[in-house]
Amino acid sequence: MKHSAAANPAKGKKDSIFELVTNVVGGDKLVLIAAIVVVFIVFTSINKNFLSWTNVINLFVAASLVGLVAIGHTYLIIAGQNDLSPGSLAAMSGVLAALLVSWGVPLWISVIITLVVGAGVGLFNAWMVNTIKLEAFIATLVTQSIVRGVAYILCGGKPVAISDPVFIYLGKVRFLRIPLSVWITILSVVFFGFILAKTKFGRSIYAIGGNKDAARLAGLNPQRIVAICFVMMGVLCGIGGIIFAARMNSGQPAANVNLEFDAITAVILGGVSFTGGVGSMGGTVLGIILIQAFNTGLIMVNVPTFWQYVARGALLLFALTSDYLRKRNRTRELLAASMKNA
């Protein structure tokens, strides 16, 4: 015997509320929010300090650098590209800024030079992808090695201490008890999220990620759009590297190893399709929170370092598997819709 919503009004009301929330937030994002809640509950039950104000702020500070890189990866992956050089570029940016300041160059000029160099690295990546037709994975793997090597060469393999008080202040200043690095990431998320969701350029990124040939026939210039995305990633890495150096009071050539993998994991967890054309900045933010809470929790419960690598690799595998399942479901839905309209 079937029971209708009319026969059980309470159940019908709950279903309608659930459908409303799912439509507004999105099913994938609800799963992410639930996963974040579970992570916080599990690690708080093991270590009561996990949910303390100090640790939450530290979590967001640690997430700020990953967040800046994840913003760039959101654009690139939606456009059908990727970048394996951000960790090396952030490290080199910190070293370069610290060196320039130590040589007596004014801080604001040092920052501009560092960001221009970051943009130049992004242009180099775009040149390899657009002109000599290397796959982004291979091209940016080349850049990853070159830039890390340059970082070591610049400082002779030793960290560059920062003595400039204004530079150090950038790493310590807080507004409303929240560090500057977190505010910069929040503003970047809002700014680039708006561009992605509400502008013609943002729609162009989705178009070339979905079908580059169709986008070209529609009058778009995929090479120019890809170049802009790579340059944007270079600038974001430069900003992140400078802020990280200010926090550490030194430019460190060995810093930020595997930063790009945390960012890519966050982006894929957030619902951006690795094959391009699908995703949102809101999902990326949830992915950033989830992966940083996961990483911080592993450290706080004293999981051995080697096992942390295993856990992070497993999380990346989970993200890629989820992306595959989402893509398969989208394909089935499109096929069903086309058969229905036929």
Q: Cα separation of 41 and 121, whole Å? A: 41
pLDDT at 187: 96
pLDDT at 8: 59
Q: Cα separation of 176 and 174, whole Å? A: 6
**Which tokens belong to 152?**
């070591």
Residue in 182, 188, 176 with CA at minimum distance from that of residue 60: 182
**Which tokens belong to 323?**
């992306």
The H helix count followed by the E strand count for the chain is: 14, 4
**What sections of 26-135 are H helices per DSSP?**
27-46, 53-78, 86-102, 107-130
Is residue 124 within 8 A of residue 240, CB to CB? The reply is no
Q: Is 179 helix (H, G, I), strand (E, B) or coil?
A: strand
Quote the pTM value: 0.87
pLDDT at 18: 42
Q: Cα separation of 333 and 271, whole Å? A: 17
Question: Per-residue pLDDT for the chain (342 aa), expressed as one digit of tens each?
Answer: 445 445 555 555 545 544 544 444 455 688 888 888 998 999 999 998 898 988 999 999 999 999 999 999 999 999 999 999 999 999 999 999 999 999 999 999 999 999 999 999 999 999 999 999 999 999 999 999 999 999 999 999 899 999 999 999 988 899 988 999 999 999 999 999 999 999 999 999 999 998 888 889 888 999 999 999 999 999 999 999 999 999 999 999 999 988 999 999 899 988 898 888 888 999 999 999 999 999 899 998 888 888 888 988 888 888 888 778 877 877 777 677 767 766
pLDDT at 141: 95
Query: Which conformational region is residue 238 in: left (phi greater than 0), alpha (psi within -120 to 50 degrees), or beta?
Result: alpha
Handedness of CA 10, 12, 16, 18 (dihedral sign): positive
**Which tokens belong to 118?**
């970051």
**Which tokens belong to 65?**
């650098």
pLDDT at 205: 95
pLDDT at 23: 45
Q: Cα separation of 81 and 120, whole Å? A: 18
- How many angstroms separate the Cα of 249 from the Cα of each of 77, 91, 141, 163, 238? 33, 13, 28, 8, 16
Instruction: Tell me how far the alpha carbon of residue 220 is from its chain's centroid.
Output: 26
